[in-house]
């Protein structure tokens, strides 16, 4: 048994959808979640910036003594996962490979769509990983810059549906039968995607697949905690704690009793 905590990080609160599924899958494990709210969003930033931020946050979590790190940000996974796995001593799981594997397994016509942030689409990492698994798969990626702000603001449902229809149109025209929803915000509006795409399209969400990958990694490495115990969660943010808590409770769908703040200077020291 390994009683150490599992670290999860994201650019903000979106990765709490991944934490939620991890809590359901691994209720006996302890988790610490760090949201980089002061520098959110990562999507429009350069690859170099995102790599630096991800290394700072992950290094902070490793120094805190976690046994495994979940990079719950699609943009940071696309930009920085190989760097993190090279630089850190603990295992690092990203959200991209589990989704790509699930999509390749699910597709019937080998046409796969990806809806994600600008940074994730720009990286081309989904297409690379999918074609590693199936070189003959056709991949069409669409950047969705409107969706994250809409989901966070909780605005008009009609406007959100219209935006999803806009981004879904080229995927439907290409007759994809499987769509990767490559942003941790998207599970919050799952019914909207299901409505737009219909039953004939398989939707792959990062939270479901990543939680499964975390469980498999813990078991494979023999670092699971005692299954008879109840796990605990700690929440950290580089932004305003009250803002994180109010938004985070909607994302996590559970109460967040307290949030501690981590300064950017602390993070910068860890990766120096």
Could you tell me the residue range of the domain that residue 166 belongs to?
Answer: 97-206
As a whole number of angstroms, the distance between CA 165 and CA 157 comes to: 12
Domain membership flag for residue 69:
yes
Q: Evaluate if residue 201 carries a pLDDT over 80.
A: yes
Domain membership flag for residue 1:
no
183 among known catalytic residues: yes
22 among known catalytic residues: no
The residue from 40, 73, 144, 233 that is catalytic is 73
Which of 189, 206, 223 represents a domain boundary (last residue)?
A: 206
Residue-wise pLDDT for 128-138, tens only, equals 999 999 999 99
Residue-wise pLDDT for 175-184, tens only, equals 999 999 999 8
The model's pTM: 0.89
Counting every residue, how long is the chain?
Answer: 272
The residue from 22, 144, 183, 233 that is catalytic is 183
Q: Give 192's pLDDT tier (boundaries 50, 70, 90).
A: very high
Task: Provide the angle, in degrees to the nearest 10, between the axes of the packed helices 206-221 and 96-106.
Answer: 110
Q: Evaluate if residue 272 carries a pLDDT over 70.
A: no
Specify the higher pLDDT residue, 149 or 112: 112
Residue-wise pLDDT for 15-55, tens only, equals 999 999 999 999 999 999 999 999 988 888 999 999 999 99
Q: Evaluate if residue 74 carries a pLDDT over 80.
A: yes
> Are residues 76 and 112 both part of a single domain?
no
> Are residues 250 and 235 both part of a single domain?
yes
Q: Which CATH number do you get for residue 52?
A: 3.40.50.1860
| Per-residue confidence (pLDDT) for residue 43, from 0 to 100 | 83
Q: Evaluate if residue 9 carries a pLDDT over 80.
A: yes
Element (H, E) at 74: helix 74-87
Element (H, E) at 244: helix 241-252
As a whole number of angstroms, the distance between CA 37 and CA 197 comes to: 31
């Amino acid at each position: 048994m390994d009683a150490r905590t599992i670290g999860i990080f994201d650019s903000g609160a979106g990765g709490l959808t991944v934490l939620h599924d991890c809590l359901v899958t691994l209720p006996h494990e302890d988790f610490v979640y760090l949201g980089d709210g002061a520098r959110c969003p990562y999507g429009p930033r350069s690859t170099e910036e995102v790599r630096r931020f991800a290394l700072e946050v992950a290094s902070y979590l490793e120094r805190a003594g976690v046994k495994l790190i979940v990079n719950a940000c699609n943009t940071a996974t696309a930009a920085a996962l190989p760097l993190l796995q090279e630089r850190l001593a603990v295992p690092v799981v990203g959200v991209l490979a589990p989704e790509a594997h699930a999509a390749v397994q699910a597709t019937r016509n080998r046409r796969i769509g990806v809806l994600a942030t600008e940074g994730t689409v720009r990286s081309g990492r989904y297409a690379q990983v999918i074609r590693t698994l199936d070189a003959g798969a056709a991949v069409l990626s669409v950047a969705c810059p409107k969706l994250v702000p809409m989901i966070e603001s909780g605005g008009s449902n009609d406007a959100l549906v219209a935006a999803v229809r806009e981004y879904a149109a080229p995927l439907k025209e290409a007759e994809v039968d499987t769509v990767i929803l490559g942003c941790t915000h998207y599970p919050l509006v799952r019914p909207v995607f299901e409505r737009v795409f219909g039953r004939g399209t398989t939707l792959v969400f990062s939270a479901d697949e990543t939680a499964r990958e975390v469980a498999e990694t813990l078991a494979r490495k023999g670092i699971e905690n005692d299954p008879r115990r109840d796990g605990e969660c700690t929440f950290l943010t580089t932004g305003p704690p009250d803002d994180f808590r109010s938004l985070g409770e909607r994302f996590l769908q559970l109460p967040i009793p307290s949030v501690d703040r981590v300064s950017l200077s602390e993070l910068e020291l860890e990766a120096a």
